Amino acid sequence: MTRKFLPHMSDVLIETYGKTFKAAFTELCGGMFTQMGSAGVKKESASFSVSQKANTLDELVVNSLSEILAECEIERVTPKKVNVKEFDETENSLSLEVIGGSEIPRNIIKAVTYHELKVEKDKKGNWTIRVLFDI
């Protein structure tokens, strides 16, 4: 498994690993979606797209996840899966599609935080992303 739910007193802390940024980010979204109630989605009947460009990779991760949360609330979508279409490390840009069910998420995540945030690539090119979600 390339995802860990790390212990935290009151929030949800998820750390993911991948051979690519896309793989690590996809795992991170999977963890976030699990927290939001993706297991309850019976029919994938809704989708939306997210595109972000940022100054740093940290900002790219937080802004992308924050936009996903906002769109889920606005569009009344419980996310089930994500398809990362494009990622450009030099431009700090990301384009993706979220697919889920047409219902309000069972569990609301209030915010994606910068606290304990980690986005890094090791010498072998493997990625680690850690995010603390305020619930």
In the prediction, which pLDDT does 10 show?
Answer: 79
pLDDT score at 22: 97
Confidence band of 15 (pLDDT split at 50, 70, 90)? very high
**Full-model pTM:** 0.94
Instruction: Look at the alpha carbons of 129, 132, 133, 135 in this order and tell me if their dihedral is positive or negative.
Output: positive
- Residue 122 burial (10 A CB sphere; 0-12, 13-18, 19+): exposed
Mean pLDDT of the 120-131 span: 97
- Does the structure show a pLDDT above 70 at 1? no
Residue 8 confidence (pLDDT) above 80: no
Q: Tell me what percent of the residues of the chain surpass a pLDDT of 70.
A: 99
Domains located in the chain, CATH noted: 3-134 (3.55.10.10)
Query: Using one digit for the tens of pLDDT, what is the confidence trace for 54-91?
Result: 999 999 999 999 999 999 999 999 999 999 999 999 99
